[in-house]
Amino acid sequence: MTKAFDFPLPGFVDEQGMHSTTSDSEDEMDSTEDSQPETELDSDVDFGISVTKHHRCFAHTLQLVVKDGFKEISSSLNSVLAKVASVVNFARSLIATEILEGEKRLQCANVTRWNSQLRMIKSVLDISEKLNKLDTTKISSYERKLLRELCLILNPFEEATVMVQSNNSARLAVPLTIGLRHAMDNISVTYNNKMTQALKRSLQKRMSVYEDDDLFTTAAILDPRFNLKWCEPEKVGILTEKLRTEASRTIKLKCSTETESSDNDDYKTESQDESLFSYMSRPRKRHTSAPDSLSVEINSYLAEENVPNSVSPLDYWKDKETCFPTLAKMALYFLAIPSSSAPVERLFSVAGKTFRPERCRLKDDTFEKLMNIKCNTDINT
């Protein structure tokens, strides 16, 4: 997808009148993503239309971080993972199915989602005695200890992945990035191995871009459950001023579009895991600015207590629309920005399973209805 917009399209330029050259292979992307060469377009050409800035998928970036960690695992742990995969494959046989009757089903790993491998490991650890009865590779108690340690290291990344998959809003990117960094700092105290160090380096290299992006930081601030609680005290003033600048721009643009209340039904609230957001408990400094109406609105919002995790951010802004009119308009825009392309990719997977070769005579309207039913089963009628 990045390669498709590598060069200027006819009639389009990017926001800065520049375009960057990126690589379509993952290995080349790793070596060029820190410093991407830019080429200036002809200044005499004014297309008048712009393509918005490209933001990398948060879920994909998170998966790349975990892959960097797996590259540094020891050879002994690598052989244990191969044993686990062998046991799971054998457990699909008829004899193994009879022996494991009544136990939880063993999960198979796939290349699409990294956490499928973690779930495979956990499913094997949940079954101990009956696995030893299978006529296949045996996993020793020491190897089980190594697998449990691996699960402890990767648990924060699985929690972050599940949150992103259940809620695709950009407001989660920055708090989750900081939460993962704090979690890895705590884990590295006990498990200071090559894998944890690689995960920490990759977190800093790949995911620090979200903390420097005004779009993601503004979205996090406008979530009343986060506010500025995730921010370091010395950065509160800077981020408050950026929020004020964006609010001033919103006033100038005179955004008067109202969102129907029915749109709020499409949003789900997700539970925040204390292990990833525990770093938010420290007190924060307040930033003061000129006593105009916009500054009063911003300072009043930032001074409010954070709402409980069960409260939907959009429900909050609907109730506070009269108190914070400018910020409410901003929230409708920023909280709707997706952080990942994974939900769209899953739509194509669902479509492929629905529009099978043996059902190739499906009419367009019938196919559309089947997709709507399949993808909206969680909506209450």
pLDDT of residue 86: 84
pLDDT of residue 124: 83
At 292, list the tokens.
Answer: 């105009």
CA distance 178 to 211: 8
Long-range contacts from 137-145, C-beta under 8 angstroms, 24+ separation: 137/83, 137/86, 137/87, 137/90, 139/80, 139/83, 139/84, 139/87, 143/80, 143/83
CA distance 308 to 83: 44
Instruction: Work out the end-to-end distance of the chain between its first and last CA atoms, rounded to an integer number of angstroms.
Output: 36
Asked if 326 and 247 count as a contact pair (C-beta separation under 8 A), the reply is yes
Q: In sequence order, what are the beta bridge partners of 39?
A: 19
pLDDT of residue 297: 86
At 172, list the tokens.
Answer: 């989660």
pLDDT of residue 269: 42
User: Which amino acid type is present at position 27?
Assistant: D
What pLDDT digit, counting tens, does each position of 333-352 carry? Answer: 888 888 887 778 778 888 88
Is the pTM higher than 0.85? The answer reads no
CA distance 199 to 291: 45
Q: Which residue matches tokens 């009865």?
A: 133
pLDDT of residue 12: 52
Instruction: Say how many C-beta atoms besides its own lie within 10 A of residue 92's C-beta.
Output: 11
pLDDT of residue 53: 66
Taking 70 as the pLDDT cut, the residues of the chain under it are 1-54, 102, 128-130, 132-133, 135, 252-275, 279, 281-292, 378-381
At 175, list the tokens.
Answer: 């708090």
3-state secondary structure string across the chain = CCHHHCCCCCCCEECCCEEECCCCCHHHHHHHCCCCCEEECCCCCCCCCEECCCCCCHHHHHHHHHHHHHCCCCHHHHHHHHHHHHHHHHCCCHHHHHHCCCCCCCCCCCCCCCHHHHHHHHHHHHCCCHHHHCCCCCCCHHHHHHHHHHHHHHHHHHHHHHHHHHCCEHHHHHHHHHHHHHHHHHHHHHCCCHHHHHHHHHHHHHHHHHHCCHHHHHHHHCCCCCCCCCCCHHHHHHHHHHHHHHHHHHHHHCCCCCCCHHHHHHCCCCCCCHHHHHHHHCCCCCCCCCCCHHHHHHHHHHHCCCCCCCCCHHHHHHHCCCCCHHHHHHHHHHCCCECCCHHHHHHHHHHHHHCCHHHCCCCHHHHHHHHHHHHCCCCCC
pLDDT of residue 153: 92
What pLDDT digit, counting tens, does each position of 70-103 carry? Answer: 888 888 888 888 888 888 887 777 777 777 776 7
